[in-house]
Chain A
Amino acid sequence: MTDISSIDFTPLRGYREVQAIPRPSLSYWQDAWIRLKANKRALASLYIVMALAFFTLFGPTICTGIWCFDPALQDLDQVSKPPGTSRAALIVDDYQPWTGDRFVIDEGLRLGEPATTQAVRLQWNALPGANGHRVYRNIFPVGPELAYGIPLAEFFDNDTLFFEDRLDLRPGRYYYSVVPLGVRGELLQGYQMIEVEVLRVTTLREALERGLVEESADVKVGDQINLAWHPLGTDYLGRDMLARLMAGARVSLFIGVGAPFLFILFGVVFGSMAGFIGGRTDQLMMRFADFVVALPFLLFMILFKIAFGVGPGESGVFPMLVALVVLMWPATARLVRGQILQIREQGYISASQLLGAKTNYLILRHMIPNTLGVVLVTITFAIPNAIFIEAFLSFIGMGVAPPTPSWGSMSNEGIKTMLTTPHELIFPSLFISITVLALNLLGDGLRDALDAKMRNTE
Chain B
Amino acid sequence: MQDASSTEAGTTMDTDSNFATSAGKQLGLYALYALFGLSVLIYVLSVAAGSSGGSVSGGAINIERNSITIVLTEEPPQLDSTRSTDAVSFIVLAHAMEGLIAYDDNDQLTPGVAERWEIRDDGATFWIREGAKWSDGQPVTAYDFEFAWRRVLDPATASEYSFILYPIKNAELVNRGDLPKEMIGVRALSDRVLEVEFERSTPYFDKLVAFNTYYPLREDFFESTNGRYGADADMLLSNGPYVVTEWIHGSSMLWKKNPYYWNDQKGFLDEIVTAYITHDVNAKLNLFKDGQIVETSLIAPMLPTAMEQRWQIDRFMDGSLFFLEFNHRENRITGNWNFRRALQLAQDPSELVYKVLKEASYLPAQSLFPVWIQGIKEAFRKEYPAPEHKIDVERAREHLELARQELGLEEFPPIILLSGDSPLSLLAGEYYQELYKQNLGLELRIDAQIFKQRLAKMTSGEFDIVMAGWGPDYFDALTFGDLFASWNLNNRGHYRSEEMDRLVSIGRSELDPEKRMDAFGDIQQLIHEDVVIIPMYERGISFVVDPRLKGFKRRSVGPDVDYSYAFIDTTED
**19 cross-chain CB contacts under 8 A:** A38-B1, A40-B3, A138-B307, A139-B307, A140-B308, A140-B310, A150-B307, A150-B313, A168-B300, A312-B418, A312-B462, A313-B416, A313-B448, A396-B448, A397-B447, A402-B426, A403-B434, A448-B4, A458-B7
A93 at the binding interface (Cβ < 8 Å): no
Task: Determine whether the beta carbon of A312 is less than 8 Å from that of B307.
Answer: no
With A151-B313, A313-B446, A396-B421 as known contacts, state yes or no: A166 contacts B431, CB within 8 Å.
Answer: no
Cβ 8 A contact of B430, one of A76, A139, A402, A451: A402
Q: B414 interface residue, CB < 8 Å from A? A: yes
With contact pairs A146-B312, A312-B445 given, residues A457 and B3 touching in the complex (Cβ less than 8 Å): no
Given known contacts A402-B429, A402-B433, A453 and B8 CB-to-CB distance under 8 angstroms: yes
User: Is A444 close to B, CB under 8 A?
Assistant: yes
Return the CB mask of B411-426 against A: 1 if under 8 Å, else 0.
Answer: 0001011100101001
Q: Is the CB of B356 within 8 A of A403?
A: no
B252 interface hit (Cβ, 8 Å): no
Over the window 442-463 of chain B, the binary record of Cβ atoms lying under 8 Å from chain A Cβ atoms (1 yes, 0 no) is 0011111110000000000011
Q: What residues of chain B lie closer than 8 Å to A40, measured between beta carbons?
A: 3
Q: Is the CB of B305 within 8 A of A448?
A: no
Q: What's the minimum C-beta distance from A334 to chain B, rounded to whole angstroms?
A: 25
Q: Given A147-B310, A458-B1, 10 other A-B contacts at CB below 8 A? A: A39-B5, A74-B434, A149-B307, A151-B314, A168-B300, A237-B430, A313-B414, A314-B445, A394-B448, A416-B423
| Nearest A residue (CB) for B421 | A395
Asked if B445 and A147 make an inter-chain contact with CB atoms under 8 angstroms apart, the answer reads no
Partner of B426, one of A74, A395, A417, A458: A395
In the complex, the answer to whether B7 meets A313 with C-beta atoms within 8 Å is no
Interface residue ranges of B322-368 to A (CB < 8 Å): 350-351, 353-356, 358, 360-361
Check: B266 CB closer than 8 A to any chain A CB. Answer: no
What residue of chain A has the Cβ atom nearest to residue B416's Cβ?
A312
Q: How close is B41's CB to chain A, nearest CB, in angstroms?
A: 26
Asked if B119 CB lies within 8 Å of chain A CBs, one says no
**Complex formed: what's the CA distance from A148 to B106 in Å?**
23
Q: Is A63 interfacial (CB 8 A cutoff)?
A: no
- Smallest distance from the beta carbon of B359 to chain A beta carbons, Å? 8
Measured between beta carbons, the chain A residues less than 8 angstroms from B448 are: 313, 394-397, 401
Check: A232 CB closer than 8 A to any chain B CB.
no
Roughly how many angstroms separate A31 CA and B339 CA in the complex, as a whole number?
A: 69
Q: Report Cα–Cα, A143/B462, bound state, in Å.
A: 55
Cα(A321)–Cα(B453), bound, Å: 23
Judge whether B304 is part of the interface by a CB distance below 8 angstroms.
yes
Interchain nearest-CB distance for B5 vs A (Å): 5
**Contact A457:B8 (CB < 8 A) given known A151-B313, A312-B445:** yes
State whether the Cβ of B564 lies closer than 8 Å to any Cβ in chain A: no
Among the listed A237, A397, A416, which residue makes an inter-chain contact with B301, where contact means beta carbons less than 8 Å apart? A416
Q: Give B contacts to A, CB under 8 Å.
A: 1-5, 7-8, 11, 106, 299-301, 303-308, 310-315, 350-351, 353-356, 358, 360-361, 390, 414, 416-418, 421, 423, 426-427, 429-431, 433-434, 437, 444-450, 462-463, 542
Contact A457/B307 with A151-B315, A167-B360, A312-B447 known, Cβ cut-off 8 Å: no
Q: Are B311 and A147 in touch, CB under 8 angstroms?
A: yes
Are the C-beta atoms of B300 and A313 separated by less than 8 Å? no
Q: Which residues of B have CB within 8 Å of A79?
A: 355-356, 358
User: Is the pair B423, A184 in contact by a Cβ cutoff of 8 Å?
Assistant: no
Cβ of B5: which chain A residues have Cβ within 8 Å of it?
39, 41-42, 444-445, 448
Tell me if A313 and B307 are in contact (CB < 8 A): no
Return B116 CB to nearest CB of chain A, in Å: 24
The 8 Å CB contact of A396, one of B315, B450, B542, is B450
Q: A342 to B3, alpha carbons, bound, how many Å? A: 30
Asked if A72 lies at the interface with its beta carbon under 8 angstroms from chain B, I say: yes
Which residues on B sit within 8 Å (CB–CB) of A39? 3-5
A106 at the interface (CB under 8 A from B): no
> Bound complex: CA of A420 vs CA of B302, how far in Å?
8
Contact B360 A451 (CB under 8 A): no
A 302-318 to B, binary, CB cutoff 8 A, 1 in contact else 0: 00000000011110000
Whether a CB of chain B sits under 8 angstroms from the CB of A145 is: yes
Residue of B nearest to A74 (CB): B434
Which residue of chain B lies nearest to A298 when distances are taken between CB atoms in the complex? B450
Given known contacts A312-B416, A313-B446, A395-B426, is B4 in contact with A76 (CB within 8 Å)? no
The 7 A-B residue pairs with the shortest CB-CB distance, nearest first, are A313-B445, A312-B447, A147-B310, A168-B358, A395-B421, A457-B7, A35-B4
Residues of B within 8 A of A201 (CB): none
A76–B8 CA distance with the chains assembled, in angstroms: 57
A139–B450 Cα distance when bound, in Å, is 38
Please name the residue on chain A nearest to B435 by beta carbon.
A74
- Decide if A419 touches B447 in the complex (CB within 8 Å): no
Secondary structure call for the A interface: loop
Contacts A147-B311, A454-B4, A458-B4; A76 near B449 (Cβ below 8 A): no
Q: Nearest Cβ distance between residue A298 and chain B, in whole angstroms?
A: 9
Q: In this complex, which of B2, B11, B300 has the most chain A Cβ atoms within 10 angstroms of its Cβ?
A: B300
Contact status of A419 and B301, CB under 8 A, knowing A72-B434, A403-B434: yes
Asked whether any CB of chain B lies closer than 8 Å to the CB of A324, the reply is no
Q: Which A384-402 residues have C-beta < 8 A from chain B?
A: 394-397, 401-402
Contact yes or no, A454 B7, CB < 8 A: yes
Interface residues of A in 406-453 (CB under 8 A from B): 413, 416-417, 419-420, 444-445, 448-449, 451, 453
Expressed in whole angstroms, the minimum distance between the Cβ of B163 and any Cβ of chain A is 30
Closest residue of B by beta carbon distance from A146: B312
Smallest Cβ-Cβ distance to A238: which chain B residue: B355
B355 in complex: contacting residue of A76, A148, A453, CB < 8 Å? A76
Tell me whether A74 and B360 are in contact in the complex, defined as CB-CB below 8 angstroms, given that A151-B313, A314-B445, A401-B445 are known contacts.
no
Q: Which of A140-182 contact B (CB under 8 A)?
A: 140, 143, 145-152, 166-168
The answer, yes or no, to whether A124 is at the interface (CB within 8 Å) is no
Q: What residue in chain A is nearest B311 (Cβ atoms)?
A: A147
Name the residue of chain A whose CB is nearest to the CB of B443: A313
Contacts of A88 in B (CB 8 A): none
Pick the contact of A150: B360, B427, B431 (CB < 8 A): B360
**Do the beta carbons of B427 and A139 come within 8 Å of each other?**
no
A371 to B300, CA, bound (A): 50
A276 at interface by CB-CB < 8 Å:
no
A73 within 8 A of B: yes
Q: Which of A38-55 contact B (CB under 8 A)?
A: 38-42
Query: Is the CB–CB distance between A167 and B354 below 8 Å?
Result: yes
In angstroms, Cα B390 to Cα A401, docked, is: 31
Residues of B near A413 (CB, < 8 A) are 423
Interface: A263 (CB within 8 A): no
List the A side residues contacting B542 at CB < 8 Å: 150-151
Q: Bound complex: CA of A139 vs CA of B310, how far in Å?
A: 11
| Residue ID in chain A nearest B298 by CB atoms | A150
- Mask for A332-352, Cβ within 8 A of B = 1, else 0? 000000000000000000000
For residue A418, which residue of chain B has the nearest CB? B301
A329 contacts chain B at the CB level, 8 A cutoff: no
The yes or no answer to A236 lying at the interface (CB within 8 A) is yes
**Minimum C-beta distance from B539 to chain A (A):** 15
| B356:A237 contact, CB within 8 angstroms | yes
A167-B305 contact in complex given A403-B433, A457-B7, C-beta closer than 8 Å: no
A417 surroundings in chain B (CB, below 8 A): 301
Name the distance in Å between A81's Cβ and chain B's nearest Cβ: 13
Would you call A150 and B303 a contact (CB within 8 A)?
yes
- List residues 60-86 of chain A with CB under 8 A from any CB of chain B: 72-74, 76, 79
Point out which of A150, A311, A444 has the most chain B C-beta atoms below 10 A from its C-beta.
A150
Residues of the B chain whose Cβ atoms lie less than 8 Å from the Cβ of A394? 448
In contact, A73 and B434 (Cβ under 8 angstroms): yes
Looking at the assembled complex, report how far the CB atom of B167 sits from the nearest CB atom of chain A, in whole angstroms. 31
Task: Kindly list chain A residues whose C-beta atoms are within 8 Å of the C-beta of B351.
Answer: 76
Within 8 Å CB of A184, what residues of B?
106
Q: Decide if A167 touches B358 in the complex (CB within 8 Å).
A: yes
What CA separation (Å) do A394 and B430 show in the bound complex? Answer: 13
**Across-interface contacts of B431 in A (CB, < 8 A):** 74, 237
Name A42's closest neighbour in chain B (CB-CB).
Answer: B5
